[in-house]
Structure 1
Amino acid sequence: MARKPPARAAAKTAACRTPLLEWIMAGLGLVLLLGAIGVILADALAADGEPPTLSVERLGATRTPAGWVVEFRARNASQRPAAEVQVTGVLSAGGAEVERRSATLDYLPGGGDRRGGLLFRNDPAAGELELSAEGYRAP
């Protein structure tokens, strides 16, 4: 004669089953975790060995009570980031340097850009203004 499990044991077994929604959420969490690891690995492997490729472009000049503000955009064309990027602006007239100003950008990500401004006492339109990235530090 076969024994039947007590009713209490059957109820306990049914209550211990993991709900389907819980399995779905666990699977979704695993997919997100593996995706994040994949993105980090792909970014690390794609970083090229060349140094940051920095350029600076002038956006415009605005008159202020203290002088002129020349706004610029610094770009990094490589995938390697740069820290403490030194941007210099040299205002010259007739071949002679009139003013030299510089600004430091804390961080310039790979493939990214940052904006800033240089403060001049003289009108930048009255001479030639050359903007350049002078140096950086590896982060």
Structure 2
Amino acid sequence: MKAKRSSSSQSTSLVEWALGAAGAIMVLAAIIYLVYFGTVASSAPPSLHVAVRDISPLGDSFLVSIEVTNKSAQTAAQVQVVGILRIGSGQENSEANFDYVPAFSIRRGGLLFRNDPATGTLQISPQSYSLP
């Protein structure tokens, strides 16, 4: 004679339904995220910003530590950052190149000047990049 199974072991419990729904929501959210960043967000150009972190003496020069931030979903390659130090009627130029600045990332580097940047006007900006 066969034993009769209880009806509770054959039906789907509320916990299983809740976990199934949570899993379906996570899969749907992942698909929406991938579609958005694959189409909309990656079509915007890189948004590069340069900030001075520190200025310190380095031998007979001055090191200006910089930070390049990419605030977009597009990666930038061969990023060129130029610094111009104006002292009186003269100016001194320095440049740094960053091979790769990924989306939503920060890269650090430095610019070297012979004169103290504190004695003049320092202007630093990204000048160019290429798309990888």
Which residue pairs with 1:118 in the alignment?
110
Which residue pairs with 2:126 in the alignment?
133
TM-score, normalising length: structure 2: 0.66
Identity of aligned residues (%): 27
| Aligned-pair CA distance for 1:30 | 0.7
8 Å CA contact 2:82, 2:93 repeated in 1: no
Deviations 1:6-46 (A, max 9, x none): 542x2287644443322321221011110111122233343
Which residue pairs with 2:41 in the alignment?
47
TM-score, normalising length: structure 1: 0.64
Equivalent position amino acid for 2:57 in 1? R
Flag the structure with larger Rg: 1
> What RMSD in Å do the two structures reach over aligned CA positions?
3.4
Equivalent position amino acid for 2:108 in 1? G
5+ residue gaps, structure 1: 1-5
The 5 Å alignment of 1:60-71 reads 60-65=54-59, 67-71=61-65
Equivalent position amino acid for 1:44 in 2? G
5+ residue gaps, structure 2: none
- The count of aligned residue pairs is 131
